[in-house]
Amino acid sequence: MDRTMEQIISILHQVGTWLYPWLNEIATAIVACTLVVFGADINRFLRRKLASRSFVLRTLAFVLVNAFGYGLLIISVSPILARNMASLPAHWLLFVVIFIFFIIGAWAQGNRQV
């Protein structure tokens, strides 16, 4: 049994090792997917708060939040996430990446976005 477990961990380690060169892209995808899932809620909140304001102010807020806010969030959080994921052992990295995408997908499904 111990030999089988060692083989499984070895395979997981090998597959996880393949992820390291792609951590920046994986982290960007995680942050972007999270923003896609929560973006509708954020925009709905802004729409309610700015409903009585002028068209120009609403448009400016939309551009600032969607173009600059989300963009800034992606480019500032992704490297931090990639750096933290790089510190994980390869076999755990594989599980963490799968788990994060599964949670994002489950959340999107639960909120009827899929």
For the chain, give every domain's residue range: 21-109
**pLDDT at position 1, please?**
59
Q: Could you list the pLDDT tens digit for every one of the 114 residues in the chain?
A: 588 888 888 888 898 899 999 999 999 999 999 998 888 888 888 888 888 888 898 889 888 988 899 999 999 999 999 999 999 999 899 999 999 999 999 998 887 766
**pLDDT at position 113, please?**
65
How many whole angstroms separate alpha carbon 83 and alpha carbon 20? 10
Sign of CA dihedral 60, 61, 64, 67: negative
